[in-house]
Amino acid sequence: MGKYDNDVKRLLELVGGKENIQAVSHCMTRMRFVLVDPKKANEKEIEELPSVKGTFTQAGQYQVIIGNDVSVFYNEFTAYAGIEGVSKDAVKAAAKTNQNPLQKIMGTLGEIFAPLIPALICGGLVLGFRNVIGEINFFNNGTQSLADISQFWAGTYNFLWLIGEAVFHLLPVGIVWSITKKMGTTQILGIVLGLTLVSSQLLNGFSVSSTPADQIPVWDFGFAKVEMIGYQGQVIAAMMAGFVLVYLEKFFKKICPEVISMIVVPFCSLVPAVIIAHTIVGPIGWAIGDAIGNVVYAGLTSNVRFLFAAVFGLLYAPLVMTGLHHMTNAIDSQLLASPSKSTILWPMIALSNIAQGSSVLAMSVLQKKNERAQQVNVPACISCYLGVTEPALFGVNLKYVFPLVCGMIGCCCAAMISVGFGVEALSIGVGGLPGILSIKPQYYLIFLLAMAVAVVVPFTLTFIVGRIKLSREDRFGKETAAPAAADATSDSTAETEKAAAPAEDVKELKSILDGKVIPIEEVQDEVFSQKIMGDGVAIEPSNTVVTAPADADVTVVMADTGHACGLTLANGLELLIHVGVDTVDMNGDGFKLFVKEGDHVKKGQKLIEFDPEKIKAAGHPCTTMLIVTGEGSASGITMHTGIDAKAGDTTVISWQ
């Protein structure tokens, strides 16, 4: 009889049976299913299985979070179900067959913009800070800003534009690079093509509308003239140029003999792509982008703008769940490239973040005695208020439905206030409560009112409806006394042995890498950032060798991928070490594992070595997680973040 015999049998039934499983695989913590009909999966009952810590759907995969024992669970599941597991790449390929053409387009668009989001957020915060120090007249009876009265702040204001310009004016470089990365072609060619779109030799794209037609510089080829126009801030044109380059390179790679491909392919791909970009797709993309921007702007400034705002505010959260919201990034960027250099659309997106977060806040109050629910509610609410809504939408609001609807209603009300008064943002990327930093200073008070509505309305509605609709089990959790007693009886011998075993007097874990220690909430993976696996820390590494944080036994390893392992200390404290985000997709390329299951390791002993360049080339962050998955006899565990750590020397986790 297997360790998870009952849960394995029940999970197979709850996912719709063997006939509903198209493919299955696993990573360090999760079972990854591609289901023939995802609607047949009974999510609520699956999450109630003792061995399941949570579920979510991403990119066509239904993922069931198990934890460190996932490999054991997976082996028992595939053996019982009579299903042969497949590789992670095969699962991803199968997942795409579950998507319709629109989902595939939106998925591609999302994958193009996803690597750019950190830069957009950073740029948005920078421009928001510039707003505060240079655009708001706090001093001398409202006539001067901080930059006006201080040379230091004036210099800071000017200096910060260096970053803002790099992010928003030179955005086409990032877009074309991201397309080549996504499509698997040569990324440096994408960067070069992007640079030709924003070269200083060209008339700045933001100056085109104010430049008389006869003063626009041209390349004169005798038989034809081509306007020397830059595409700063242009999104559609950059995307079209990027795909031209990608398909040219793929074509020439296919027909060119290998012996001369290094010379022929780059030249025959890049040069025609640049020509086509400036003569055909660039002007077409500019026209399309302008048309989209003009239509949206007209809707946001017309006599029916309240209706437009109401509909957008009501539907934005469902758009996020379908992935269609990625299109708004392109529209917002296009609006920022318009003569107004601002967007009325982005403030509504920030308000949607706040509204959905407020629904979760109400659920957190209603379920304050449901410990399991709070493990999802609290981090989901925080991330939502900081501009990331997916954990709240998929983990809480969609699960109960009514919080989602209450958040949509609240956003609808707030959006009408924002658009009705013409609130404009100078940048995008900063959502949630910090979104006010991107707002033009003259609209601060109105936007604060809209934010208040986005907090109060969803919270109040969710709280009222929740008091009526939520069952006692939903609010207070399942009665666990009887199961706990049974577990205590069945495991009494093991517990007695554990208590009798002499535990080493270890009170801390040393850093597993050199680098910056950051809160686990900042990791770009909701399983870790929501602490579904447990609390811990993350490290942005500056070296490439992961070492043991303390003397411990190796309890689990990912032998086929080498990117993660689990440890258990003498006091029962269980740890998960996971190098990178989604690095399971690399199938071991770039990783070397130095331990095996059952080994005993000493503090500072080498566990894993990784190649950061390969991880980055695969499109993954190198952020490495150290997670406490079981506390053992430790208590009062404290995470030490915001520090620069030295492997083996710096304490990152401690306890009493």
What are the pLDDT digits (tens) for 170-211?
889 999 999 998 888 999 999 999 999 999 999 988 788 778
Which pLDDT does position 94 carry in this prediction? 55
Helix (H) or strand (E) holding 494: helix 492-500
Angle at 14 between CA 8 and CA 18, to 5 degrees: 75
Q: Are 418 and 453 in contact (CB under 8 A)?
A: no
Which pLDDT does position 502 carry in this prediction? 43
Which pLDDT does position 104 carry in this prediction? 65
CA distance 516 to 126: 21
Taking domain 508-654, whether its CATH number is 1.10.150.120 is answered by: no
Q: What does each C-alpha distance from 175 to 119, 167, 231, 251, 524 come to in angstroms?
A: 12, 11, 12, 21, 20
| CATH code at 5-98 | 3.30.1360.60
Q: Taking the complete model, does pTM exceed 0.75, yes or no?
A: no
Q: What DSSP letter does each residue of 46-77 carry, written as one string?
A: HHTSTT--EEEEETTEEEEE--TTHHHHHHHH
- In the predicted model, residues of the chain with pLDDT beneath 70 are 1, 58-60, 85-110, 114, 121, 293, 321-327, 329-330, 334, 338-339, 390-391, 394, 429, 478-505
302, with CB counted inside 10 A (0-12, 13-18, 19+), is exposed
Which pLDDT does position 197 carry in this prediction? 95
Interval 65-100: pLDDT, tens: 887 778 889 889 988 888 876 555 555 555 555 566
Phi, psi of 565 (to 5 degrees): -155, 160
Domain ranges of the chain: 5-98, 111-169+302-482, 171-292, 508-654
Active-site residue, selected from the candidate residues 27, 406, 412, 622: 27
Please list, residue by residue across 314-341, b when 16 or more beta carbons sit within 10 angstroms of its beta carbon and e when fewer do: bbbbebbbebbbbbbbbbbbbbbbbeee
Which pLDDT does position 481 carry in this prediction? 36
What does the radius of gyration of the chain's CA atoms come to, in whole angstroms?
27
Q: What does each C-alpha distance from 603 to 464, 526, 550, 555, 557 come to in angstroms?
A: 53, 29, 4, 16, 18
- Active site (annotated) includes residue 406: no
CA distance 400 to 411: 18
Which pLDDT does position 634 carry in this prediction? 86
Instruction: For strands 225-227 and 545-547, give the pairing.
Output: unpaired
